[in-house]
Amino acid sequence: MAETAVDISSARAAQAVGHPLRVIAVASGKGGVGKTNVAANLAVALGRQGRRVCVLDADLGLANLDVVLGLAPRLNLLHVLRGERRLSEIIVDGPAGVQVIPAASGFEELTALGAAERIRLLDEVDALDLGLDVLVIDTAAGISGNVLYFTAAAAEALIVITPEPTALTDAYALMKVLATRYGRREFLVAVNMASGAADAEAAFARLARVAERFLAVRVEYQGYVPWDDAVPRAVRHQVPVVLAAPSAPASLAFAQLAQRVGGRPVAGPNGGLQFFFRRLLGEGGR
């Protein structure tokens, strides 16, 4: 059934507009390392830097991106899959012009999507023209199918670690699957909740050493975000910290991370959102 959905690519994928879209999946292996906060603040910081940004909440079990962004969407991708709503109707406007696609539970396993649902979703994506510069994807923890599909379909994978040994081993496990099973050769890494630059760089170096040696991948450091109680405070107020406390150390670090990540040349083929979704549903059908 998957094949039929993927076959649609021929005619329309060829037309997929050439607007250069950067697609970044934020992933980690371990939960609680700050993926959602990184995704939300990166998106808002990029938005404030003038980029047109959309965030896709792909943590389908524990969707909480909307909470961090202060949104309460009533509709999600499930409504689109059921044919009840247009994709354009479920997208919500977040802070700094960031648009949010709530995925939510029910859209649990991409592999469980039938051909009709895939075609409907792809048609909806084709009909959408957000003129995006960046799509940021907030993924779930672990190495479940969905995490792998979303991350594999994204041209860039930003792995978030903390200096804890468990965060490093879990990140390594995720990178290993993405490298061996999906052929990913390059990873971006950000260290969250570090006590300072030296702490972050040491954690990055430990991960990079084993990944480069045993997986033969390129690992590129993108910076760190210090542990900062402005972050949990902002979460409690449901405002991303870059807006709630713009001069807090974590906010300055998120802005810098956005400059760094956003300043890289756009990786991968530039087929826009349409291309990403085709690739996603293709991978999901394996």
Smallest distance from ligand ADP to CB 27, Å = 9
Residue 250, contacted partner among ligand ADP, Mg ion, none, CB below 5-8 A by kind: ligand ADP
Smallest distance from ligand ADP to CB 226, Å = 6
Yes or no: say if 69 and 57 are a contact pair by the CB < 8 Å rule: no
Q: Which stretch binds ligand ADP (CB under 6 A): 125-133, 180-188, 211-219, 227-235?
A: 227-235
Number of Cβ within 10 Å of residue 38's Cβ equals: 22
- The separation between the first and the last C-alpha atoms of the chain, rounded to the nearest angstrom, is 10
Determine, following the binding rule CB under 6 A, whether residue 225 of this chain makes contact with ligand ADP. Answer: yes
Among 2, 5, 16, 37, binds ligand ADP (CB under 6 A): 37
Residue with tokens 């991409």, as numbered in its chain: 110
Residue 221, contacted partner among ligand ADP, Mg ion, none, CB below 5-8 A by kind: none
Among 9, 28, 36, 162, binds Mg ion (CB under 5 A): 36
C-beta closer to Mg ion: residue 254 or 275 = 254
Tokens (6 digits) for 58: 């792909």
Number of Cβ within 10 Å of residue 112's Cβ equals: 10
Determine, following the binding rule CB under 5 A, whether residue 35 of this chain makes contact with Mg ion. Answer: yes
Residue 235, contacted partner among Mg ion, ligand ADP, none, CB below 5-8 A by kind: ligand ADP
Cα separation of 211 and 233, whole Å? 34
Report the sign of the C-alpha dihedral through residues 22, 225, 165, 232, in that order: negative
Determine, following the binding rule CB under 6 A, whether residue 250 of this chain makes contact with ligand ADP. Answer: yes
Determine, following the binding rule CB under 6 A, whether residue 96 of this chain makes contact with ligand ADP. Answer: no
Tell me the CA distances in angstroms from 177 to 171, 187, 207, one per residue in order.
10, 13, 15
Cα separation of 282 and 154, whole Å? 12
Closest CA to 124 of 275, 274, 284, 276: 274
Smallest distance from ligand ADP to CB 233, Å = 8
Q: Which stretch binds Mg ion (CB under 5 A): 13-21, 55-63, 188-196, 262-270?
A: 55-63
Cα separation of 190 and 160, whole Å? 5
C-beta closer to Mg ion: residue 37 or 99 = 37
Write each residue from 176 to 215 as x if it is in contact with ligand ADP (CB under 6 A), else as -, in one continuous string.
----------------xx----------------------
Bridge partner list, 138: 26, 57
Q: Which residues of 224-245 are buried (b: 16+ CB within 10 A; e: fewer)?
A: bbbbbebbeebbeeebbbbbbb
Closest CA to 270 of 55, 24, 56, 19: 19
Write each residue from 131 to 170 as x if it is in contact with ligand ADP (CB under 6 A), else as -, in one continuous string.
----------x-----------------------------
- Binding positions for ligand ADP, 39-78, rule CB under 6 A: none
Residue 156, contacted partner among Mg ion, ligand ADP, none, CB below 5-8 A by kind: none
Contact positions toward ligand ADP, by CB under 6 A? 28, 31-37, 141, 192-193, 225, 227-228, 231-232, 235, 250
Contact positions toward Mg ion, by CB under 5 A? 35-36, 59
